[in-house]
Structure 1
């Protein structure tokens, strides 16, 4: 195996398109826009067997006051919940022994590069489905388990509806009778205002992201990113969300509950589940099942629970930096002063 930087957009995106693990988060414009707005140096690695790429790994490096950090993705939580490795399209067709051999070579080459960079703090979060991280554990990394909610859209719509909590179905019926209107848009103005308010809340352990970042992403992927707005009969906004529509349908960036006489968020999600199924997506993902306050709402849709893995390492300097970020810097009153990718 050999590891080298990939600087060809077409080669990169073609590999992502062909991989069952490749998502919009991995596409070339997505990773370059993210690096530009977060202030990280993008390291788009390819791991090769001869001339054939077997895995891609978009990593982000930054050195701040002597503290070196290496991430994939950068610490953006729900904005990019996972990136990490992108195995080739044939990876899942290999026998188990060969898959383990490929993962060993990937982990070996990547670990050697990480050692050469010698970050004080490292975090790689892999996509759902890529859960065998033993090769990293055997090399001294720590693993953390993350969760996300999914709905199997292959099943009949009646089965999906029947799996909802009875109180949820009642709320959706009432909202449907109220005659609400769903609009798909590329205008993120109202959506961003709501998201910015959400990320500034004390319980959101996440830096706020600039509006320009979202605008650049929507400009790069007009067919795969959308803002949805749900209006009542009087024209008042009852719910809004951003989605990713590429391979799987991602209920991506949701806004806080909007005060309304109707269950706007519940009805909005049901409408999008139906839309995703009608358009042939195999999976609807309501990203994230790691926040207790939100899990009760999400679980009422009878979503399946998928895991995804984070591998990380840190030395004493990295541990101190992590503590400082989570305990001091990421407090709402400091976010706009110290985090470089805040508007």
Structure 2
């Protein structure tokens, strides 16, 4: 078997698209349009490549320069709900070897301090583990399978009486969901999106990022909504639509934090997307990245809709001795803090 690597280009873009569409692991965030968003809108420098075996692509490797605590490294798909490499043959250990060799070459040429690789497959995890990576916290997403539980069963068997009451309250008080695509409406959405993140000391994306999204994606690929009545805006939600995998991805929650406590806009907007996704013929909804802790409040709020946690496996390979020492100290503190808080 002969292996070779090609950097992603116009010449092999069709191979990238085909593998993403045909692979079980393919998704919205591995599409080339998202690559342009990461590069142009979020200013990530890309190093994407394909691994071929006998002229057939066997791995898609979407890597970008990103930082951990101010230290730059090579990271697979940063700022994305799904950030894994795609491997078509889970039984070939040489694939991991060739990917890591290419990543080391990129890191050396660009003076990067670490390599962070993520996979969804247990077998691929085992192949990378042989190269002695440092431990990395488990990550993943909460996913709802509408083929196992449709809106009717979720309403009657999964949602609590209290959640159903909160949903009915919006309907009783005249709230509606409206699709938006004008700049003025997006400014309203952004106002509450920005305030919501700042209230939890998180950094919001710039308004220009949402303008870029609007220019990049059609109404069949992205929908922005506002929840409102005649008097107030309760919040909003952005959804990416990936029909080849019949999956909806919920991102960029916009919330009016000044609403009375009697309202739970997040509950209503999520329920709206459960009904809507089912009506549109979608079978899965990704509720976004979530800590893998069943005691975490965000985990619990998504689990109450019937979501299950999809685990990913990440590996960090140090490229410098100083980074290795610093990271080990950081990881030790992280684990200690996690155990202390969980008590």
TM range (shorter): 0.7 to 0.9
For 1:84, the equivalent position in structure 2 comes to 84
SS state at 2:289 partner: coil
Shift of the 63–289 alpha-carbon distance from structure 1 to 2, 3 Å rule, reads: closer
After TM superposition, the structure 1 = structure 2 runs for residues 265-284 of structure 1, keeping only pairs within 5 Å, are: 265-284=266-285
Question: Which residue of structure 1 aligns with residue 265 of structure 2?
Answer: 264
TM-score with structure 1 setting the length: 0.79
| Residues 167 and 35 of structure 1: CA distance in aligned 2, closer, same or farther (over 3 Å) | same
Aligned counterpart for 2:146 among listed residues 132, 143, 153: 153
The answer on 1:217 being equivalent to 2:213 is yes
Judge conservation of contact 1:257–1:265 (CA < 8 Å) in 2: no
Q: Secondary structure at the match of 1:41?
A: coil
Match of 1:250 in 2: 249
Task: Give the distance between the partners of 1:153 and 1:62, measured in 2 at CA.
Answer: 35
Show the counterpart of 2:298. Answer: 294
Q: Distance in 2 between matches of 1:236 and 1:309?
A: 42
Which sits farther off after the overlay, 173-182 or 43-52? 173-182
Following superposition, the deviation at residue 42 of structure 1 comes to: 1.0
**1:250 to partner: Cα distance:** 1.2
Mapped contact 2:74–2:116 kept (Cα < 8 A): yes
Q: Which runs of 5+ in 2 are unaligned?
A: 332-343
Distance in 2, matches of 1:7 and 1:321, equals 36
- Please say if 1:166 is aligned against 2:161: yes
Pair 1:264–1:200, CA change in 2 (3 A): closer
| Aligned residue number for residue 340 of structure 2 | none
Per mean C-alpha deviation after superposition, the further-off stretch among 10-19 and 167-176 is 10-19
The answer on 1:305 being equivalent to 2:309 is: yes
Cα distance between partner residues in 1 of 2:58 and 2:17: 14
Q: Which residue of 1 aligns with 2:126?
A: 134
Matching residue of 2:7: 5
**How far is 1:143 from its partner?**
4.5
5 Å-filtered alignment, 1:33-52, equals 33-52=37-56
Query: In structure 2, do the counterparts of structure 1 residues 157 and 200 end up closer, same or farther at CA, with 3 Å as the change threshold?
Result: closer
Residue of structure 1 aligned with 2:187, choices 186, 189, 196: 189
- Residues 10 and 147 (structure 1), Cα distance of their counterparts in 2 relative to 1, 3 Å cut: closer
Q: Cα 1:62–1:289, aligned 2, differ >3 Å: closer, same or farther?
A: closer
Deviations 1:237-284 (A, max 9, x none): 112111111131112221245433533221111111100111121111
> How many matched pairs?
305
- Unaligned stretches of 5+ residues in structure 1: 92-98, 327-343
Whether contact under 8 Å (1:137, 1:143) holds in the other structure is: no
Q: How large is the Cα RMSD of the aligned pairs?
A: 2.9
Q: Deviations over 1:136-165 (max 9, x none)?
A: 111112343213222210133221212112
How far apart, CA to CA, are the structure 2 residues paired with 1:21 and 1:40? 23
Question: How big is each residue's C-alpha offset from its partner over 1:107-142, in whole Å with a ceiling of 9 and x where there is no partner?
Answer: 11111112222431222334xx53441111111123
Alignment of 1:25-104 (within 5 A): 25-61=29-65, 68-74=72-78, 76=79, 80-88=80-88, 91=89, 99-101=90-92, 104=93
Aligned-partner Cα distance in 1 for 2:127–2:306: 33
Contact 2:4 2:53 (8 Å CA) reproduced: yes
Which residue pairs with 1:125 in the alignment?
Answer: 118
